[in-house]
Amino acid sequence: MRQLLSIFTRILPTQIAYAHCDVPCGIYDPKPAQIAAATVLKMVQKINDLPKENLTVGDRNSFVRMVLIKEEHARKCKEELLILWTDYFKPEHILLFPNLHEIFWKAAKLCSKNKQEVSLEGAQELVKAVDEIASMFAKAASNAIKTEAALNKKSS
C-alpha cells in the first residue's frame, strides 16, 4: 500500500509544505559556517601561491578550481550564517548580544566581499567574524541549558 501510494506521488502533482523549522528541527551549529570560512581562506592562500607569470595549463586549471571553490564556500558560509541569524537567534538574545544584528550583517557582507576579491585580509576577517558568531552561539546555548536546568529544578 505504501509503495503504491509512493508511486502515485511521483505521477500526480505534489506540493511542498513547510514545517518552518530548519535542517532538521532543533539542530543548529556554527561549525559548517566556520569550515566554509576556513575553506575560503585556504583557497585565497592557494591562489596567491600560484605562479604570477608563465602559468601552465595545470596552473590555470588549478586557479579556476580554486576560485570556484572559494565562490561556493563563501556562498555556503553566508547561507549557514543566515540560518543562524534568522532561525536560531531569538529577540531575547539581543539582551545578551546587543550588537548581534550588526555582527551578522558585517559577516554576511564579508562573504560577498570574499566572492568579489582575492584578499588574504578579507578572508582572515571573514574567519574572525564567523568565529565571533560561533562564540555567541556557544554562549547562547550554554545560557539556554542553564535556564532549562533552573526551570527543571524549580518544577521538581
Least distance from another protein to the Cβ atom of residue 14, Å? 7
By CB under 8 A, tell whether 21 contacts another protein. yes
Report the alpha-carbon distance of residue 6 to residue 149 in Å, rounded: 43
Q: Does 16 bind another protein (CB under 8 A)?
A: yes
Residues 16, 17, 20, 24, CA torsion sign: negative
Distances (CA, A) of 10 to 1, 3, 5: 15, 11, 9
Among 9, 56, 152, 156, binds another protein (CB under 8 A): 9
Site for another protein in 67-106 (CB under 8 A): 87
Tell me if 18 contacts another protein by CB under 8 A: yes
Residue 8: all three cell numbers together = 502515485
Q: Which of 13, 24, 51, 58 lies at the binding interface for another protein (CB under 8 A)?
A: 24
